Structure 1
Amino acid sequence: HYLPAINKVFLWTGIVIIVLVVSIFHNFIGFSIPIIVSLVSTIWGLGFCGLIGMTLDPLMLVLPFLVGARALSHSVQTTQRWLEEYEKTGSKLDASYNTLERLFLAGLSAIITDAGGFLVLVLARIPCIQKLSLLCTFWILAIFITASAGGPLLSIYLPAPKKIRIGGLGLFEKFLSKIANMSISRKGAMTIIILFVLAGIVGGYYTNKVAIGDIHPGSPILFPDSKYNIDVAEINKRFDSAGVDTMNVVVNGVANGIEMPPVLYKMEAFTDAMKRGVSAVSGSQCIINIVKKLNQEFHEGDPKWYVIPDSILATGTYILMYRSTGEPGDFNVWADHKFTKGSIRIFFKNHLAETIKNGLKVAKQFLYQYPEMLQRRFYDEVYRNLIEKYPDIGKQHFVVRLTKNVCEFDMEKFLEYMKTKKASLIKDPKFIKEFPELYSKKNLVKKYPKILKMSMREFVDTYPQAVSEMKLIDKDEFMTPERYGAAQFLLCGGTIGVLAAINEEIEWSQVGTLLLIFVMVFILCASAFRSVWAGITLTVPLVIANLVAFIYMVFKEISLDVDTLPVFAIGVGVGVNYGIYIISRFREEYENELDINKAIKRGVSTAGLGVVFTAVSLIIPVLLWYWFSQIKFQADMGILLAFLLFFNMLGALLFIPAVCAYFRPKFITLGHE
């Protein structure tokens, strides 16, 4: 529905970028090379997307667009340097040769670092992010051919520029000159470093306050007043026992297990626990509602009979009657044709992160505590029946069999051990070593103290008489898991289940993936400049920029999810591009000047121009998303990306020059100092 509007926003964004590039470079080569390179890299990237059979979600269109914009960033740097070299030499061939010679390693380092950051996203255990990671990695690597190498080579065959002077250069030069003067002074450099570190500390404090998952009702990608969100609110308001979000639970047993009363008891207990424990739960849908209603109707509509019968004959009859009235396949929503698997659908009023977390907590807590009910039911129902049928077997044998069904450990090994050892079950350390399942897997020792705290002598004495009847018990219907309600509940599907899995993965990826991206950037930058200090200098401003972005996310109530996580990877890549080109120019200028302050000032005024041009060409267009996009996600990402681009620009123009001027690292001075 919104795809045409999204495409329209991207179209106008592209037009604005072209206008800005043309207004900055007042010559054909200046504005045509970045535009051509961006278009070619976009075609390559989308072609690779089709080659691997990847479909682009409308929300994900922001990422390919920004990777294409990354090509613009590299191309602006190389084009600006080409024009500078052409102004010096007057030869297109010499300008292209000098540009490739001076920027080849810087461009290669920046692109490999970009690609490494994207490749780390493969570790996020979400298929769509993994595919996106491979796409963006290939796309970034292709930029080296199209932008870093292809741009200068293409310039040879285009008409020579008649006007080299860049539009608005005087204003930019004054701005960059003031920044450079501030950075090279000891007091100014220390002030800049302290301010950046303080910003990082404040951002680090707000990191834990960033929400994982949705924090507003309805769809987070749409504005609150969108038709969809208004309709969702109205549905939840009008229907008390329903909701637009569901948690689906599969009940797994044996053939005809779903008809057995104990299994139905457990399903009923589960739905009751969810209604009591989660305020956002409005109702449920499962086979027990039908069984209870038919039981009531067959007792003259008396409300007191709105219960599950304790006879499998009654429950099976009711289910058969209901099933026979529908069309083929109608009953599949309740159970399969063998009654081996059933379903429970829990309706939720919203899918807020807190609601999902609470819903899973209540569901898991119920399944963890349900064996306590199982123990009581065993004494009340199962034991009385079995002791009459199998008089040679004492209580312990039934307990052992029940424990085996619950804990699923090696029964033969257990019986052999019991036959040869005469010791207290709890106190015998050898037993603990042999059967750790009782203590660790489900901690039955804690759950069943009355059962397990007993002497083994009675068991050993009665074992020979009991062993034959134990084999009969294995086949007895009373000892099947379904008999005492031990059918397996598989959590969970539906909207709530899918979002819960995504939120859990994002919670890990938030720290793990971003941390690995920063580590990857550090290693690649340190390797490129053969200096650990260079890796630190380039990585720290990226970390600070992302931490400060978390502050913005907290105050604007933007949560981390599967759509926003990759945006941070793009922000990291943009920042490291700026820094690598700046530092490379510092090193180059220092070789000529042998004065670090002059090298920094010259580097900021030259490579800094490319940083400013790139930032301006991207910040202004993405800011337009906030005012013109009909998608809340796109509008939020426009502001967030503009924020990241701006702060990364400040890091490259302020923090990196300040660190280099204050500490005078050897990777800049090349050992001359």
Structure 2
Amino acid sequence: MAVSPTVDPAETPDLAAFDPQSGSRVERVLFNNRLIVVCLCVVMTLILGWQASALRLNASFEKTIPRQHPFIAAYMEHQQDLRGLGNAVRIVVSNGGRSIYEAAYLDTLRQINDAVFLTPGVDRSSMKSLWTPNTRWIGVTEDGMDGGPVIPDGYDGSPASLGQLRVNVARSGEIGQIVALDGTSSALYVPLLSALPDGAPFDYAAFSQKLEEIRQRFERPGLTLHVTGFAKIVGDLIDGLREVLLFLAVAIVITTVCVLWFTRCVRSTALVVVSSMTAVVWQLGLLPTLGMALDPYSILVPFLVFAIGMSHGAQKMNGIMQDIGRGAHKYIAARLTFRRLFLAGLTALLADAVGFAVLLVIDIQVIRELAIAASLGVAVLIFTNLILLPILLSYTGVSAAAAARSLKTDNARQTTGVKHPVWAFLDRFTRRDGAVAAVLGGAALAVVGLWGAEGLKIGDLDPGAPELRPDSRYNRDVAYINAHYGASSDVFAVMVETKGEGSCARYEALRRLDALEWELRQLEGVETTNSLAQLNRDVLSGLNEANPKWVELIKNQAMLNFVTAGAPRGLYNEACTLLTLFVYLKDHKADTLDRVVARVERFAADNDTADIRFRLAAGSAGIEAATNIVVKQAWRQMLYLVYGAVMLLSFVTFRSWRAVLVAVLPLMLTSVLAEALMVWLGMGVKVATLPVIALGVGIGVDYALYILSVTLAMMRAGMGLSEAYYRALIFTGKVVILTGVTLAAAVATWAFSDIKFQADMGILLAFMFLWNMVGALVLLPALAYLLLPGGKPVRHAEGHAPSSPPSSPPAASALSTP
């Protein structure tokens, strides 16, 4: 951006005396064609507003998993043989503490089974319950081995039929899986398709609503339905959209009221809000244009765009108010503010956009789409808040009272020579004692933060869905199922590939599978396992009057072939080249998954051969383990890239490595403390929380760039650090405090949301808003004293300014060339 000579508004109070050809080429093109720019923005808002009406809110299970990870690649390779081990829900029908072997209960269960079976999106061939034909029993009778469907042929609800059903269930091995351990409830396992038969994407909101309709239709006193699974979590989050939007609206109102209180000017406050909301409309309109939708994890991005817009908009508004207060015409004030703050604002927004864009390196589609959505939103702010807002204010100006009030603090200091108590306090950090104290205090906090962040875990830390409150219906359903079933819905599946058709029944393959299964059963967090090797042991024992001495895997190929021929197809594939080891976990906590993964990988390293290969992983827990690994790898990489981008852009702006450190070190302290806060709040680093760390860095750099750019400009104009920092506080620091406190207060209200994900994000964002503000006001001047050339104060009477301080901030020439 070309620079222009400094223009003092006090010297050019009249529009006639102002040269419209002054300023950079960008400034001349924009402000000399103001009406065209406004009309283009209005047209763009109408077009993208219409496009935004087509925006959908949905989610996709496939988008939340890292498709390129070896675990997921192995699962995808065998997906057709492992149907039902991906996205699924579990519906448990409880008979209110009574036995399920009642005709009325079983009839209701059949009706529920039929209703779920006919629901769009259900993978019907893999669905399993007492009423599906793939739930079978195997037993030893007087005639030898026998088997059949669990629901006996000719079932009529009579006592004899119920008695036979009880026997069949006992023989099926489904107690603890399909039937509760205490026999008071039974489950429907419902795998889901990734897309409907007509090619339409799976609609989680519609599916969740259908489940709730089934729940309301069949629940009655003494009979309840408990539903768990990814689809239900997403459905509940989407159902909570109204509450999310309500809190977003409250946050916007709080922000607007606080800005209005600060300015006492309705017209300028309205324009700041309108320009920020225009950015949100543009962002939401661009998403469907690019074929994207919002999901529960990116629903907060529009507010972040609004918050960033309010921060930049308030800076522009404040600069214009001050120039008008010094006597400048509103058109001149708008152009001067554009000159002074455009470069700092552009750098800050580019840092925000790049900070969000680095999330694209994470191989999880939902995070990549969030990164695109956030980057688009920040990019449009360049047009709506850096360009459109100053142009609109050049037409409307601000009220005379607001303009005079904006200079009240500075005028009082000019008259009395004494700084406002707040500015006098902050000025202490530009002097030796205060700077050293601030830096040592920051270092101590960094040490405490690093120590606290040591306990930060990857993945979920609690059973159930951490996105929802512990007392939510979903998490109460999870607690019920975990208490009544030996096999939880957290299934970890190990795939054992064998070479050659029919090779899965060979003794060597089953022996190695049996050895791994035995090791996994000893691990903490593993409740039970199931495999073809275990079935061989059970059948051999059954053929010998259930003698425990015969619970063995014998080296008799004919016997192994016999058992395999009658085994459920889920234990091996059609060609008998793949065995599946099902590991049922107590929960899906990060520590539990880490133990299982480590044990299987160690076993595979020792036991893989040319003909037998153990591969991870399928099942809900296996997929989550892969996701945790990707998040862990991306976590630090993301931070390095974010800070690398911010440091590079800061260096391009300031051309000084010392200034870069002054701007970035406070952000790093906030990141460290935020991670410690996550440990204290019991939050893990996962798909839902990982982006917030990057978002906090991107938003926080705005404060530092605005204050530091003005401070450096004043120092280059010949002021000492103390006076330069004071001028920066008067010009931009007030708005930094305003936006920091206002936005923190706005998002802090989210802590009362019933959706724990939103509550956690609100607490984290409020913390980051406040600490980034504190860092910019306290640590930045202290670091400037220690690191910047000329940081030592010029010798003046303590607490007093130079005899002839400049009456206004410098223009673009002083700000754009460090």
Change (3 A) 1:322 1:571: closer
Aligned ranges for residues 524-673 of structure 1 at < 5 Å?
524-590=649-715, 594-626=719-751, 628-665=752-789
CA contact (8 A) 2:325 2:407 kept: no
Q: Which residue of 2 aligns with 1:336?
A: 573
Aligned ranges for residues 173-192 of structure 1 at < 5 Å?
174=420, 176-192=422-438
What displacement does 1:280 show? 0.9
What displacement does 1:537 show? 0.7
CA contact (8 A) 2:322 2:406 kept: no
The partner residue of 1:63 within 264, 287, 301 is: 301
The partner residue of 1:247 within 479, 489, 492 is: 492
Identity %, equivalent residues:
27
Question: How far apart, CA to CA, are the structure 2 residues paired with 1:565 and 1:152?
Answer: 35
The partner residue of 1:370 within 593, 607, 632 is: 607
Name the TM-score, length of structure 2 as normaliser: 0.63
Question: How far apart, CA to CA, are the structure 2 residues paired with 1:194 and 1:268?
Answer: 59
What displacement does 1:491 show? 0.8
Q: Which residue of 2 aligns with 1:312?
A: 557
Aligned ranges for residues 287-306 of structure 1 at < 5 Å?
287-306=532-551
Question: How far apart, CA to CA, are the structure 2 residues paired with 1:224 and 1:41?
Answer: 36
The partner residue of 1:226 within 472, 492, 507 is: 472
CA contact (8 A) 1:245 1:348 kept: yes
Change (3 A) 1:307 1:650: same
1:362-390 Cα deviation digits (max 9, x unpaired): 2122223337xxxxxxxxxxxxxxxxxxx
Q: Which residue of 1 aligns with 2:80?
A: none
What displacement does 1:281 show? 0.7
CA contact (8 A) 1:176 1:604 kept: no
CA contact (8 A) 2:740 2:769 kept: yes
Question: How far apart, CA to CA, are the structure 1 residues paired with 2:326 and 2:792?
Answer: 24
What displacement does 1:668 show? 12
CA contact (8 A) 1:176 1:608 kept: no
Q: Which residue of 2 aligns with 1:417?
A: none
1:374-426 Cα deviation digits (max 9, x unpaired): xxxxxxxxxxxxxxxxxxxxxxxxxxxxxxxx3x6xxxxxxxxxxxxxxxxxx
CA contact (8 A) 2:482 2:586 kept: yes
Q: Which residue of 2 aligns with 1:374?
A: none
Change (3 A) 1:281 1:595: closer
1:80-104 Cα deviation digits (max 9, x unpaired): 1122122223422111111111111
1:427-481 Cα deviation digits (max 9, x unpaired): xxxxxxxxxxxxxxxxxxxxxxxxxxxxxxxxxxxxxxxxxxxxxxxxxxxxxx3
Question: How far apart, CA to CA, are the structure 2 residues paired with 1:79 and 1:335?
Answer: 68
The partner residue of 1:131 within 369, 390, 412 is: 369
Unaligned 5+ residue runs, structure 1? 324-330, 372-405, 409-480, 482-486
SS at match of 1:283: strand
What displacement does 1:300 show? 4.8
The partner residue of 2:322 within 54, 72, 84 is: 84
CA contact (8 A) 1:26 1:165 kept: no
1:259-309 Cα deviation digits (max 9, x unpaired): 223322222222111001x12111123333444444444445544444445
SS at match of 2:396: coil
CA contact (8 A) 2:482 2:488 kept: yes
The partner residue of 1:256 within 484, 502, 507 is: 502
CA contact (8 A) 2:659 2:784 kept: no
What displacement does 1:229 show? 2.1
SS at match of 2:583: strand
SS at match of 2:395: coil
**Which structure shows the higher helix fraction?**
1
Aligned ranges for residues 441-456 of structure 1 at < 5 Å?
none
Question: How far apart, CA to CA, are the structure 2 residues paired with 1:15 and 1:166?
Answer: 26
Q: Which residue of 1 aligns with 2:641?
A: 516
Change (3 A) 1:190 1:356: same
Change (3 A) 1:275 1:103: same
SS at match of 1:509: helix
Question: How far apart, CA to CA, are the structure 2 residues paired with 1:664 and 1:306?
Answer: 77
Question: How far apart, CA to CA, are the structure 2 residues paired with 1:637 and 1:138?
Answer: 21
Change (3 A) 1:355 1:170: farther
Question: How far apart, CA to CA, are the structure 2 residues paired with 1:256 and 1:203?
Answer: 57
What displacement does 1:631 show? 1.8
Question: How far apart, CA to CA, are the structure 1 residues paired with 2:516 and 2:338?
Answer: 68
CA contact (8 A) 1:176 1:605 kept: no
Aligned ranges for residues 10-29 of structure 1 at < 5 Å?
10-29=248-267
Residue correspondences, number: 550
What displacement does 1:134 show? 2.7
What displacement does 1:347 show? 0.3
Change (3 A) 1:595 1:259: closer
Question: How far apart, CA to CA, are the structure 1 residues paired with 2:574 and 2:551?
Answer: 25
What displacement does 1:251 show? 1.9
CA contact (8 A) 2:321 2:398 kept: no
User: What is the one-letter code of the residue matched to 1:559?
Assistant: G
Q: Which moved more, 1:600-609 or 1:206-215?
A: 206-215
User: What is the one-letter code of the residue matched to 1:271?
Assistant: E
Please say if 1:351 is aligned against 2:588: yes
CA contact (8 A) 2:496 2:578 kept: yes
Question: How far apart, CA to CA, are the structure 2 residues paired with 1:196 and 1:657?
Answer: 13
User: What is the one-letter code of the residue matched to 2:575?
Assistant: K
Structure with bigger gyration radius: 1
SS at match of 1:58: coil
Change (3 A) 1:171 1:308: farther
CA contact (8 A) 1:23 1:167 kept: no
Name the TM-score, length of structure 1 as normaliser: 0.76
Question: How far apart, CA to CA, are the structure 2 residues paired with 1:26 and 1:89?
Answer: 19
Question: How far apart, CA to CA, are the structure 1 residues paired with 2:406 and 2:390?
Answer: 23
CA contact (8 A) 2:334 2:391 kept: yes
CA contact (8 A) 1:30 1:83 kept: no
Change (3 A) 1:45 1:294: same
User: What is the one-letter code of the residue matched to 2:496?
Assistant: V
1:238-259 Cα deviation digits (max 9, x unpaired): 223x112111112212211222
The partner residue of 1:113 within 341, 344, 351 is: 351
User: What is the one-letter code of the residue matched to 2:589?
Assistant: L
CA contact (8 A) 1:273 1:366 kept: no
Q: Which residue of 2 aligns with 1:265?
A: 511
SS at match of 2:456: coil
Change (3 A) 1:494 1:68: farther
The partner residue of 2:460 within 214, 219, 234 is: 214
SS at match of 1:214: coil
Change (3 A) 1:309 1:96: same
CA contact (8 A) 2:490 2:619 kept: yes
Q: Which residue of 2 aligns with 1:402?
A: none
Change (3 A) 1:142 1:228: same
Question: How far apart, CA to CA, are the structure 2 residues paired with 1:337 and 1:169?
Answer: 81
The partner residue of 1:201 within 447, 464, 467 is: 447
User: What is the one-letter code of the residue matched to 2:678?
Assistant: M
Q: Which residue of 2 aligns with 1:283?
A: 528
